[in-house]
């Protein structure tokens, strides 16, 4: 057995929980995340699960995992390689062993390493007994049998008893990282409050795992992760979908506009619909439509009536919404369209992450139909960019596409809950003069946005639709010169928004040999890679990350012109680099693309940077 790489105190550590899709690994990981957040650690998580509702039990294809990196320093990724791997069966070991560091710790439920399960995972011999795991520190825990013993007098079905073994595994890990049980027990009591027997079962299993860890010599000393130095405030762990929902709610409250969400369920965006459907207490109006087209058309109607309106989807649904997006563009109505990207095309890999819908967001509509395109970078900042998407949509009377993805949607990170006065004021463009002086498509001069007047208010009755409108009056017209003028006005309106965007920032030297560029959810891995290289003494690399994509920030060209080479890293086949080339063709672009349904590893980015600097 290799020497254990865990020490009594560590700045950061990566843990992966893994088992069958019915073993509760997502809940286990989430509960460990909660305990780490309470302990003051910064963290980032990523769940990984099969697309099938119930994949074959014990198969490698049916493995579900949850990875978390916790630290006493700022954490931007869920980690590349793993310090502690929890495996509930042989398939979980086979699927995840390659992620474990040499000397890393394996906590295995040895009861499930049966000949039948070993065969399903393509093991000829039991890896817990041969030399397969000699490079690791292995804890062979009888999780299933000890859980059965702890719960034997509760009168539960055997299936329910064995499912509780995930709490046994959690108890072991809580001990390993010096976590008290009290907060986790509180969580269990709240989650299963309507089922007292399940509360008792889970607490007993948790204690059994904790006590096993206390009594076994294999664990060694428990590890202490110091609290991270984060800005003061009230924090909670939040996933990207919940953050988007709450950002829309905050924009509704700040603007005084009722929030309407009209959506059709689709992986991985459905949780936004679920979250807002439970927020009637905050005035949210939620409509689950019969299909994607009905959803966006209902959202446009809600916007026309005067509500802050949104619709949520993923790539396939965005394809169906494309025609109605053009309707929102020509009607010049505010609308937030959230696209939680997944790996495609078609159904593709519906539970895996990718940034493959950027072209769709930029160009995926017929006719000249410009709108704002934005992208969030982390689970917690999904709140801010959701709020900003709503603000820009209302202030500039335009649809806004907000790009998230599976990694952000299901991953979690600590989020400092902002005070209301910290949020940017939302200034609704209301016509202040007498109604007789108002026309539906008259504009504010600086940004060309029309006024948002309710068609139900006396004196402001008006119609809209998908046919071309005469300038100012909005009356139907087929005049060719008017169509050309209106087309250019709609494009110029989006371009002028660049004046209101924050300046693009650079991390590292403001000029030099290599600028690394990212957008959206790749921020964590690229930022960590560049930060580590700078700390190691590299002076020729800098990093800039884009959240505003159409329009780009005004200083984009100035930044790109300051470096000899530009390395664009993205989880697609080169969509953003193609977009930059079309806008700024005179610069030297390189690209690094990953299309595996998985986020970037920090080590991959570092290797690419080092390779380009050595050219």
> Range with the lowest mean pLDDT among 239-248, 452-461, 523-532?
452-461
Instruction: Locate CATH 3.40.50.970 in the chain.
Output: 237-422
The pair phi, psi for residue 169, each rounded to 5°, is: -60, -40
- SS3 category, 522: helix
Q: CB–CB of 50/76 below 8 Å?
A: no
CATH fold label, 512-613: Rossmann fold (3.40.50)
**Is residue 615 pLDDT above 90, yes or no?**
no
- Whole-number pLDDT of residue 56: 80
Cis peptide before 268 (omega within 30 of 0): yes
CATH fold label, 12-215: Pyruvate-ferredoxin Oxidoreductase; domain 3 (3.40.920)
**Mean pLDDT score across all residues of the chain:** 95
Q: CB–CB of 112/144 below 8 Å?
A: yes
CATH superfamily, domain 237-422, is Thiamin diphosphate (ThDP)-binding fold, Pyr/PP domains (3.40.50.970)
Q: What is the pLDDT of residues 58-88, one digit of tens each?
A: 899 899 999 999 999 999 999 999 999 999 9
Q: CB–CB of 394/428 below 8 Å?
A: yes
Output the CA–CA distances (angstroms, integers) from residue 534 to 8, 479, 530, 602, 607, in the order listed: 28, 59, 6, 14, 14
- Whole-number pLDDT of residue 1: 63
In angstroms, the first-to-last Cα distance of the chain is 41
- Whole-number pLDDT of residue 353: 96
Instruction: Locate CATH 3.40.50.920 in the chain.
Output: 512-613
- Whole-number pLDDT of residue 218: 64
| Mean pLDDT computed over 206-211 | 96
Q: What is the pLDDT of residues 255-276, one digit of tens each?
A: 999 999 999 999 999 999 999 9
Q: What angle do CA 196, 197, 199 make, to 5 degrees?
A: 65
pTM over 0.85: yes
Q: CA dihedral in degrees (426, 429, 433, 436; nearest 10)?
A: -140
Q: What is the pLDDT of residues 568-608, one digit of tens each?
A: 999 999 999 999 999 999 999 999 999 999 999 999 999 99
Q: What is the pLDDT of residues 166-182, one digit of tens each?
A: 999 999 999 999 999 99
Q: What is the pLDDT of residues 348-394, one digit of tens each?
A: 999 999 999 999 999 999 999 999 999 999 999 999 999 999 999 99
Q: Give the strands of the sheet with 548-550, arranged side by side.
A: 285-288, 259-263, 308-313, 335-341, 399-405, 372-375, 548-550
d(C-alpha 34, C-alpha 474), whole Å = 53
Q: What angle do CA 47, 51, 53 make, to 5 degrees?
A: 105
- Whole-number pLDDT of residue 222: 85
d(C-alpha 62, C-alpha 49), whole Å = 8
Q: What are 541's strand-pairing partners?
A: 514
- Whole-number pLDDT of residue 52: 74
- Whole-number pLDDT of residue 58: 84
């Amino acid at each position: 057995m290799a020497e254990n790489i865990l020490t009594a105190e560590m700045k950061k550590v990566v843990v992966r929980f893994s088992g069958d899709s019915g073993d509760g690994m997502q809940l286990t990981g989430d509960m460990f995340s909660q305990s780490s957040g309470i302990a003051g650690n910064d963290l980032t998580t990523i769940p990984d699960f099969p697309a099938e509702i119930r994949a074959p039990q014990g198969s490698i294809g049916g493995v579900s995992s949850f990875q978390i990196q916790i630290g006493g320093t700022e954490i931007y990724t869920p980690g590349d390689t793993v310090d502690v791997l929890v495996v509930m069966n042989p398939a979980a070991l086979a699927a995840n062993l390659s992620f474990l560091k040499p000397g890393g710790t394996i906590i295995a439920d040895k009861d499930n390493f049966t000949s039948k399960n070993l065969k399903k995972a393509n093991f000829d011999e039991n890896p817990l007994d041969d030399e397969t795991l000699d490079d690791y520190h292995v804890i062979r825990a009888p999780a299933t049998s000890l859980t059965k013993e702890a719960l034997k007098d509760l009168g539960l079905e055997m299936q329910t008893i064995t499912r509780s073994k995930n709490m046994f595994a959690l108890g072991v890990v809580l001990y390993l990282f010096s976590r008290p049980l009290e907060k986790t027990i509180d969580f269990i009591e709240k989650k299963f409050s309507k089922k007292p027997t399940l509360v008792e079962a889970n607490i007993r299993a948790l204690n059994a795992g904790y006590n096993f860890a206390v009594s076994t010599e294999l664990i060694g000393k428990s590890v202490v992760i110091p609290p991270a130095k984060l800005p003061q405030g009230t924090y909670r762990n939040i996933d990207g979908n919940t953050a988007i929902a709450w950002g829309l709610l905050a924009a509704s409250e700040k603007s005084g506009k009722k929030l309407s969400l009209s959506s059709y369920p689709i992986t991985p965006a459905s949780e936004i619909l679920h979250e807002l459907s439970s927020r009637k207490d905050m005035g949210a109006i939620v409509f689950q439509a019969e299909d994607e087209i009905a959803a966006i058309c209902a959202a446009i109607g809600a916007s026309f009536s005067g509500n802050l309106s949104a619709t949520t989807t993923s790539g396939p649904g965005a394809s169906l919404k494309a025609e109605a997006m053009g309707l929102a563009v020509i009607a010049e109505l505010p609308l937030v369209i959230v696209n939680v990207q997944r790996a495609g095309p078609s159904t593709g890999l519906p539970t895996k992450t990718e940034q493959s819908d950027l072209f769709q967001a930029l160009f995926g509509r017929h006719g000249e139909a410009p709108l704002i395109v934005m992208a969030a970078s982390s689970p917690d900042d999904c709140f801010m960019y959701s709020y900003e998407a709503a603000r820009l949509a209302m202030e500039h009377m335009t649809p806004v596409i907000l790009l998230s993805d599976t990694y952000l949607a299901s991953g979690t990170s600590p989020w400092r809950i902002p005070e209301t006065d910290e949020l940017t004021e939302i200034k609704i463009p209301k016509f202040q003069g007498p109604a007789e002086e108002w026309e539906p498509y008259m504009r504010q001069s600086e940004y060309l946005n029309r006024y948002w007047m309710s068609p139900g208010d006396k004196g402001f009755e008006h119609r809209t639709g998908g046919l071309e409108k005469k300038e100012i009056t909005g009356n139907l017209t087929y005049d060719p010169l008017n169509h050309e003028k209106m087309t250019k006005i709609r494009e110029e309106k989006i371009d002028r928004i660049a004046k209101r965007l924050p300046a693009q920032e650079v991390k590292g030297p403001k000029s030099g040999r290599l600028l690394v560029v990212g957008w959206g959810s790749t921020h964590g891995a690229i930022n960590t890679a560049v930060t580590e290289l700078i700390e190691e003494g590299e002076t020729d690399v800098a990093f800039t990350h884009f959240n505003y994509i159409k329009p780009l920030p005004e200083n984009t060209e100035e930044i790109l012109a300051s470096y000899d080479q530009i390395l664009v890293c993205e989880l697609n086949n080169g969509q953003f680099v193609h977009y930059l080339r079309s806008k700024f063709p005179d610069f030297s672009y390189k690209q690094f693309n990953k299309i595996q349904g998985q986020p970037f590893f920090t080590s991959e980015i570092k290797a690419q940077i080092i390779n380009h600097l050595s050219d």
